[in-house]
Structure 1
Amino acid sequence: MRLRRPLAAAAALSATAALTLAGCASDDTPEDGESAASGNVRSEATDEFPITIEHALGETVIEETPQRVATWGWGSTEAAVAAGVYPVAVAEQIYTVGEDALLPWVEEAYEEEGVDKPAILSDPEGGSTVPYEEFVEAAPDLIVAPYSGLTQEQYDVLSDVAPVVAYPDAPWTTTWQDTITLTAQALGRSDAGDQVLADIDDFVAQKAAEHPEFASKTFAAIYDDPTKGIVSVYTSSDPRTVFLEGLGVKNAPSVAELDTSNGSFYFDLSYEELDKLDSDFVISYSASEEAAQAFEDNKDLQAIPAVKAGKVVEVVGTPQVSAVSPPTALSVYWEDGIPALVDSMAETLGD
């Protein structure tokens, strides 16, 4: 569950270690045509290679059609699968996992297609550290991380293993649209990416049309941390708020007025300032039923006008939070994700 993500810390490996990793990677890469390389690809590339992608950490040239793709961060696994490429290695999800440590909707996609499950790349700190040796063992020919927290040093080290596509602007701020587009471009499947986006646009437009009452309503998306006496508020730079605005609601002006994030995806607001967080309703993310109950019992939160008015939409449970934080090319259709959130918003605004 990705309630908050710390900015990525510096990598631990030196340049010498990076060269060693690169040597190991070239020794372990499967030969062309091996089933391990081709069995996870279910669509043909439509773009011409080489492909060059510019991003915040450099310029990446992808010489040939990728066969063994690794993903890092959030959303790129689902974007690749939606484009017909099933990654051979994906980031661990320590909060939201299925039987094989995969997100439920990812696990379902692999099972439905009959594709071997990917290797799980250790990510116990939510992207702050990178398991370089595990990337080497997976032997990818492309690493896709458009919505991640890679530092320059981490990017440089990983680039000695395989070409890396990072975020276009700042860590953890890539829109869900750009995550899909960049992933599809890196795979040489831009047309497939365009179709994925068109299908999601249709889905969102349908939901918005079903709920005209959303128009002009304002929200504040928050995560309460009573142990610190703060509420984390998601800014307009956060992809989950961007997606919600596609449904017709708007991130409240008070969020921008209180924003101290300097362009990040969230900022912390002390309990003493909660009365300034004015909106028509609040969306609260809780990891468990116990955390949701603690939110309801926290009298300090009554200082938030929408909370006092009972206008709270609760997203409860790690799969549910992950499915909408932000949604991905696969989780957007998961019934307990966006569809359930839309229903809860309609119920709350209709009270």
Structure 2
Amino acid sequence: MSSSTSRLSALAALTVAGGLVLAGCAGTPGTETAGSSDAPAGSADAFPVTFEHMYGETTIESAPERIATWGWGATDAVLALGIVPVAIASMDYGGGDNRITPWVEDAIADLGGEEPAILDNATFELSVEELLASDPDVLIAPYSGLTQEEYDAVTGAGIPVLAPAEALWSTPWREVITETGKALGLDAEAEQVLADLDQQVADAAAEHPEFDGTTIAYAADDVDTFYLYLPADPRVEILEDLGFVTAEAVTALDTGEATFYTTVSSENLDQIDAEVIFTQVDSEDQLQTFLTSDRTKLIPGVASGAVGAIVGEENVAAISPTALTLPWILPQVVEQLAAATAAAQG
């Protein structure tokens, strides 16, 4: 598996997350940075609050003002709740030269104030020294690869940590939002973020009744390995929430090797019998290879031209759902699906 596919596999391993829904939280409720008088204040009645997680138990005694984040989705959740963190993980896939994804950059600009410190995430190892230099009140890292050693070092410095609940890179994306809201004393606001997300995907589905009941397969070709994403993957769930039905061929080809994807050998590609094929690629060159190679054209939907594609690292990164990626990528997803469905039905 290539480094980009490996990274996105980690980001997409939200396994049995609740239904993947998209929606607009373009308007976030706050207007200033964390710790400012205008930032949303967590309810005092919500504290102290205690979390049980894979490394034990964490209690946050009072509403934190200086929030640091680590992993995937936590930064977006904090920003969607109207607060700019003091430190965030770098995004080395899809983040551009400044290592900040465009939806995060937009949210920081909208909220105003100082940009957060960027914690080097190139090796997926947390530099506790970098983190502590930002003087945080809490570290929010529910969907991350935070190790026991890193957890012990941060908590040993007196910083409470919201760690993954059961296993690394496994917390469902919706829980990242609700747990972040709970940690900040903004439970109701977090529920509203999710309600807004639900509404936008429902609106998109209503605008495209042709999606309803159309069979689909989410596929990715990575040189020597062909991947099919399964219904447990949130990237597939978005398609189903929009009305598509995962083709029976997808689950029939599942080898049980992982919860959210399966691999398919070249001789079985012609068995991927779906009206629409959806894929993700890093570049237009890769897309053309996917559309025209003798190998992928064994798939009936590719041969007929009924393919929707998300192209470019930042767009592929955005497919993995968070409070901010969903509204950012939804228009492109819907546009691609509409064209592919028209080709399939046309």
Counterpart in 2 of 1:212? 209
What TM-score comes out, normalization by structure 2 length?
A: 0.82
Question: How far did residue 170 of structure 1 move?
Answer: 4.2
Change (3 A) 1:70 1:216: same
Question: How far did residue 137 of structure 1 move?
Answer: 2.1
Question: How far did residue 57 of structure 1 move?
Answer: 4.2
Contact 1:40/1:87 (8 A) holds in 2: no
Counterpart in 2 of 1:182? 179
Distance in 2 of aligned mates of 1:319 and 1:241: 18
Query: Of residues 75, 89, 92 in structure 1, which corresponds to 2:90?
Result: 92
Q: Which amino acid aligns with 1:188?
A: G
SS of match in other structure, 1:299: coil
Question: How far did residue 68 of structure 1 move?
Answer: 1.5
The answer to whether residue 275 in structure 2 is matched with residue 249 in structure 1 is no
RMSD over aligned CA atoms reads 2.7
Query: Of residues 36, 54, 57 in structure 2, which corresponds to 1:39?
Result: 36
Change (3 A) 1:139 1:220: farther
SS of match in other structure, 1:94: coil
Counterpart in 2 of 1:16? none
The answer to whether residue 275 in structure 2 is matched with residue 277 in structure 1 is no
The answer to whether residue 156 in structure 2 is matched with residue 160 in structure 1 is yes
The answer to whether residue 331 in structure 2 is matched with residue 339 in structure 1 is yes
Change (3 A) 1:93 1:7: closer
Change (3 A) 1:237 1:72: farther
Counterpart in 1 of 2:25? none
Distance in 2 of aligned mates of 1:260 and 1:157: 40
Alignment of 1:189-268 (within 5 A): 189-226=186-223, 229-260=224-255, 263-268=258-263
Question: How far did residue 209 of structure 1 move?
Answer: 0.6
Query: Of residues 120, 125, 135 in structure 2, which corresponds to 1:122?
Result: 120
- Count of equivalent residues: 318
Change (3 A) 1:319 1:37: closer
Counterpart in 2 of 1:143? 139
| Between 116-125 and 260-269, the greater mean CA deviation after superposition | 260-269
Change (3 A) 1:267 1:83: same
Q: Which stretches in structure 1 are left out of the alignment for 5+ residues?
A: 9-34
Distance in 2 of aligned mates of 1:234 and 1:224: 11
Distance in 2 of aligned mates of 1:177 and 1:40: 28
Question: How far did residue 79 of structure 1 move?
Answer: 0.9
| Between 279-288 and 174-183, the greater mean CA deviation after superposition | 174-183
Question: How far did residue 151 of structure 1 move?
Answer: 4.1
Question: How far did residue 154 of structure 1 move?
Answer: 4.2
Q: Deviations over 1:227-250 (max 9, x none)?
A: xx1123323332222233221223
Which gives a bigger RCO, structure 1 or 2 (Cα 8 Å, sep 6+)? 2
Distance in 2 of aligned mates of 1:321 and 1:106: 15
Change (3 A) 1:232 1:86: same
What TM-score comes out, normalization by structure 1 length?
A: 0.81
Question: How far did residue 261 of structure 1 move?
Answer: 5.2
